[in-house]
Amino acid sequence: MTTAPMLKIERLEKSFYMHDQQKRIPSACNTSFHVLSGRLTALVGATGAGKSTVLKAIYRTYLPCRGRIIFRTASGQSVDLATADEHTILKLREREIGFVTQFLFALPRQPAIDVVASPLYKQGISKSEGQEKAAAILRRLSIPENLWSSSPTTFSGGERQRINLARGVIGRPRLLLLDEPTASLDPRTTNDVCQMITDLKYEGTGILAIFHDPGLVKRMADDVYCVDGQKKTENIS
Amino acid sequence: MRKVLDVKAMSKIYGQGCPYCRDATGPEVNTNICRHCGSVVAIDDISFTLYEGEILGVMGESGSGKSTVAKCLYFDETADGGTAHYFDNHGQYSLFDLFNLNAAQRRWLRYRRFGMVYQNPNLGLNFGISSGGNIAERLLMNDILVYADIRKRATELLRRTEVPMDRMDDLPSQFSGGMQQRVQISKALATNPPLLFLDEVTTGLDVSVQAGILDLIIELQDRLKTSMIVVTHDLGVIRLLAGRTLVMKNGHIVEAGLTDQIMEDPQHAYTQKLVASVL
């Protein structure tokens, strides 16, 4: 395992300008840290400090205002995710960078097993093979088999979260971004999820995670970074 | 990642046009109509690229010019300015270059390389012949001349779009709106076009029908890797289908980017307003 960071965040800054109110709302500010392959970095900080913002900025759901996000790709190239062109980002999202958000977004009417397998279908893997792999993860996360053909939109919060997680990890991304992966889970399933995340880590995945529970941070994190966001909003008149 | 379409500074004006048209219209002045000469600047300065296998969303409200973008590229309308290059295995075509691309060549591209599904099935289907016949028509234009082959292909397409086989010989007027759209999609896909335009294809349909058609489009893109331009005012459809999106207002692109970024971190004032308005 190489020691060069898989992900280098350098002085990342993100704020939001609301045109209708002519107000700029600051979020993450002067954020710098590394993520290494085979290690889990936990982002901690008060609610609203900008932890999810950092994850979204890496995934390019948010456009960073300042700073660099240097990602070392599978082929060894360094890409600044903050300024890379859209096609590059889409390709990286397909193969190398996974993001498990807090909320599940799924096609209506799609059975859970296909929701989980969809990243594999996009890679051209057959339906039968995709479903087989999805089934393995669903079993591991204790999703009852009789639910696999139902749409996750009918599931409970905890079940949806596990579907989201399954979908996020099935493609074995090199960099995994996790936003509160155990927030709605009971202790037993939390344990199963943690075990799965640890296994991924040992396979070499670089993981950046937000855990709401300080106990989980202690248990899971190899490195911890504290996000310190500003609280004031600025009026630009 | 191969480029399929490269559009630069495309424009279309209805009316005689004048030197002041450009400045008198656009999102900053909130109008498409030039107050000096009365011409309608439907689209101006439209530039974008489309790569193989990707779905590009073109989003905007009524009058934004989004349909005009598709119509000019599909040759339903003639662009007044700009260039558009289409690339595939066989070569590179300059779509608006009337000196290098004659009417026959444009027709060839339209029937062999492009497909279009309209909001109004009347535009995409021939209501005088059966649905199977509509598909056959397109196959015939592509030199698939053996009756058995045509019938087989039509059957396969209608099956994929969940149109009952025993309705193949019925007229489109005997179908519901949703089924007419499915027949239109079958027809457009009959020749596996590398580039497909979808213009408001689910607008006005019942939600369950819409869901089915969207599922179908996604499945087709996964399987066939068709490049698509999806024109719609519906943010939900854009979110489901498009990896990248253009936001249009008064004939111009006001913002372009990854779809999730446009939805969650819109930069332009109009995009922010649009995204905030969704129920």
ipTM for the whole predicted complex goes beyond 0.90: no
Q: What is the pLDDT of residues A187-217, one digit of tens each?
A: 998 999 999 999 999 999 999 999 989 999 9
Q: Check whether residue B7 and residue B89 sit in a common domain.
A: yes
- What is the rounded distance in angstroms from the CA atom of residue B221 to the CA atom of residue B102? 31
Listed residues A145, A172, A199: the one ending a domain = A172
Is B72 inside a domain boundary? yes
Q: Check whether residue B145 and residue B79 sit in a common domain.
A: no
Q: Are A86 and B258 inside 8 Å of each other by CB?
A: yes
3-state secondary structure of A63: coil
Q: Are A20 and B214 inside 8 Å of each other by CB?
A: no
Is B104 inside a domain boundary? no
Q: Are B261 and A20 inside 8 Å of each other by CB?
A: no
Is A29 inside a domain boundary? yes
A60: nearest Cα among B265, B57, B172, B92: B265
Q: Chain B: residue nearest A53 by CA?
A: B265
Give the range of the structural domain holding residue A21, as residue numbers without chain letter.
Answer: 7-96+174-235
Q: Check whether residue A128 and residue A226 sit in a common domain.
A: no
> Considering CB atoms only, which of A19, A62, A107 is closest to B240?
A107
Is A207 inside a domain boundary? yes
- Cα B146 to chain centroid distance, Å, stands at 30
Q: Check whether residue A37 and residue A11 sit in a common domain.
A: yes
Is B228 inside a domain boundary? yes
- What is the rounded distance in angstroms from the CA atom of residue B138 to the CA atom of residue B126? 11
Interhelix angle B207-224/B177-189, nearest 10 degrees: 10
Is A165 inside a domain boundary? yes
How far apart, in Å, are the Cα atoms of A231 and each of A48, A54, A236? 8, 16, 16
Q: Are A107 and B257 inside 8 Å of each other by CB?
A: no
Confidence of residue A233 (pLDDT cuts 50, 70, 90): very low
Chain B touched by A18 (CB under 8 Å): yes
Q: Check whether residue A81 and residue A120 sit in a common domain.
A: no
Is B149 inside a domain boundary? yes
Is B142 inside a domain boundary? yes
pTM (predicted TM-score): 0.90
| pLDDT per residue rounded down to tens, chain B (279 residues) | 789 999 999 999 999 989 999 999 999 999 999 999 999 999 999 999 999 989 999 999 988 999 999 999 999 999 999 999 999 888 888 888 866 788 888 888 988 899 999 989 999 999 999 988 998 888 888 887 788 888 888 888 888 777 888 888 999 999 988 889 889 988 988 888 899 999 998 888 888 778 888 888 887 787 788 899 999 999 989 998 999 999 999 999 999 999 999 999 999 999 999 999 887
Q: Check whether residue A84 and residue A179 sit in a common domain.
A: yes
The amino acid at residue B72 is C
Contacts of A63 in chain B (CB under 8 A): 257, 261, 265, 267
CATH of the domain at A75: 3.40.50.300
Is B151 inside a domain boundary? yes
* Gap from B258 CA to chain A (nearest CA, Å): 6
Q: What is the pLDDT of residues A151-195, one digit of tens each?
A: 998 888 889 889 999 999 999 999 999 999 988 888 998 999 999
Q: What total number of domains does chain A contain?
A: 2
Q: Check whether residue A188 and residue A225 sit in a common domain.
A: yes
- Cα B40 to chain centroid distance, Å, stands at 21
Q: Check whether residue B89 and residue B219 sit in a common domain.
A: yes
Q: Check whether residue A217 and residue A152 sit in a common domain.
A: no
Contacts of B260 in chain A (CB under 8 A): 61
Contacts of B258 in chain A (CB under 8 A): 60-61, 86, 89-90
| Unique residue bearing structure tokens 């996009």 | A122
Backbone angles phi, psi at B254, to 5 degrees: -95, -25
Is A119 inside a domain boundary? yes
Q: Are B257 and A63 inside 8 Å of each other by CB?
A: yes
> What's the half-sphere exposure (Cβ side, CA atoms, 13 Å) at A132?
5
Is A64 inside a domain boundary? yes
Contacts of B211 (CB under 8 A, 6+ apart): A108, A109
Q: Check whether residue A167 and residue A206 sit in a common domain.
A: no
Listed residues B158, B192, B226: the one ending a domain = B192
Contacts of B51 in chain A (CB under 8 A): 87
Backbone angles phi, psi at A179, to 5 degrees: -110, 100
Q: What total number of domains does chain B contain?
A: 2
Q: Check whether residue A81 and residue A185 sit in a common domain.
A: yes
The DSSP symbol for B187 reads H
B46: nearest Cα among B230, B234, B246: B246
Is A32 inside a domain boundary? yes
Chain B touched by A153 (CB under 8 Å): no
Q: Are B257 and A86 inside 8 Å of each other by CB?
A: yes
Q: Are A60 and B261 inside 8 Å of each other by CB?
A: yes
Q: Are A109 and B261 inside 8 Å of each other by CB?
A: no
- What is the rounded distance in angstroms from the CA atom of residue B224 to the CA atom of residue B195? 11
Give the range of the structural domain holding residue B63, as residue numbers without chain letter.
Answer: 1-94+194-201+212-279
Contact residues, chain B to chain A, C-beta under 8 Å? 1, 51, 54, 211-212, 214-215, 218, 222, 240, 243-244, 257-258, 260-261, 264-265, 267-269, 272-273
Q: Check whether residue B2 and residue B90 sit in a common domain.
A: yes
Chain B touched by A127 (CB under 8 Å): no
Contacts of B166 (CB under 8 A, 6+ apart): none
B256: nearest Cα among B264, B247, B268: B247
Q: Yes or no: say if A167 and A127 are a contact pair by the CB < 8 Å rule.
A: no
Q: Check whether residue A150 and residue A216 sit in a common domain.
A: no
- What is the rounded distance in angstroms from the CA atom of residue B43 to the CA atom of residue B113? 24
Which one is predicted more confidently, B203 or A71? A71
pLDDT on residue A236 = 40
For the cut 80, the answer to whether the pLDDT of residue A108 exceeds it is: no
Contacts of A115 in chain B (CB under 8 A): none
- What is the rounded distance in angstroms from the CA atom of residue B115 to the CA atom of residue B97? 20
